[in-house]
Structure 1
Amino acid sequence: FFLFKSSRYNDSRVSCTNAYIPLEVIIMGDEEEQAPANESGYSAGIGKYKVHIAQKQLPHLGMFFSGMVFLIAIAVLGRGARYWEYGIALGSVTMFFSIVGLVLALKSEWNSVAGVYNNYFLFLWCFVGACIFTFSGPATFRQTSNGYFGAWGMAVFSIMAVGVAKDQMTQSISGMGSLLGLLACSVIVIIATIDPIRAGFYRNESIFALTLACVSVIVAGVFWAKDRDGHEGKDIVKAIVIGFFALCWIVEACLVTFRGPFVPTGNGYFGSWGGALTSAFATMSALH
Structure 2
Amino acid sequence: RRARSPTRGGGGCWGGGGGGGRGGGGGGGGDPLNNKGSDMSDKQGLPESSDPVITDKTGAEALRAEMEESPISAKTLYAFILVMSFVVMVEAAIECDRANDCSDERGWAVTVGVVSIISSGVALILDIYTDACSDVMGVIFSFYMLALWSAGAGVLTFRAPFTRTGNGYFASWGAWLASAYLVYSESPFLKKKISEVFNAGLHFQSMLSIVLGSIVVLIAGAILCSDESCTNQNAYSVAVPCVAIPVVLPFMFLTMVQDYRIWASLFMAVWWLCGAAVLTFDRPFTFTGNGYFGCWIACLGSLYWFFLCGVQEADIVAKIQEEINKRTKNTKDQPAVIPEAPDTKNDAKLDNEVKLDVKDNNAQEGGKAVA
Task: Place the TM-score, normalised by the shorter chain, in its bin.
Answer: 0.5 to 0.7
Q: Contact 2:220–2:290 at 8 Å: present in 1 too?
A: yes
What secondary structure sits across from 1:137 in the alignment? coil
Task: From 127, 135, 146, give the equivalent of 2:150.
Answer: 127
User: Equivalent residues in 2 for 1:31-110 (5 A)?
Assistant: 40=67, 55-57=72-74, 58-78=76-96, 80-82=101-103, 83-102=105-124, 103=126, 110=133
TM-score, with normalisation over the residues of structure 1? 0.53
Q: 1:137 to 1:154 in 2, by over 3 A?
A: same
Q: Contact 1:206–1:256 at 8 Å: present in 2 too?
A: no
2:135 corresponds in structure 1 to 112
Give, in angstroms, the shift of residue 173 of structure 1. 9.1
Structure having greater relative contact order (Cα 8 Å, sep ≥ 6): 1
1:259 corresponds in structure 2 to 278
Task: From 135, 138, 143, give the equivalent of 2:164.
Answer: 143
Q: Which amino acid aligns with 2:138?
A: G
Structure 2 distance, partners of 1:277, 1:108, is 45
TM-score, with normalisation over the residues of structure 2? 0.43
Structure 1 distance, partners of 2:143, 2:210, is 16
Q: Contact 1:182–1:275 at 8 Å: present in 2 too?
A: yes
Which ranges of structure 2 fall in alignment gaps of 5 or more residues? 1-58, 200-204, 305-371
What secondary structure sits across from 1:143 in the alignment? coil
Structure 2 distance, partners of 1:181, 1:252, is 15
Give, in angstroms, the shift of residue 163 of structure 1. 2.5
Percent of aligned positions with the same letter in both sequences? 21
Larger radius of gyration: 2
What secondary structure sits across from 2:233 in the alignment? coil
What secondary structure sits across from 1:159 in the alignment? helix
Task: From 187, 191, 208, give the equivalent of 2:240.
Answer: 208
User: Equivalent residues in 2 for 1:150-229 (5 A)?
Assistant: 150-164=171-185, 174=198, 187-194=215-222, 195=224, 198-201=230-233, 203-204=235-236, 206-213=238-245
1:284 corresponds in structure 2 to none
Give, in angstroms, the shift of residue 64 of structure 1. 2.2
Q: 1:270 to 1:94 in 2, by over 3 A?
A: farther
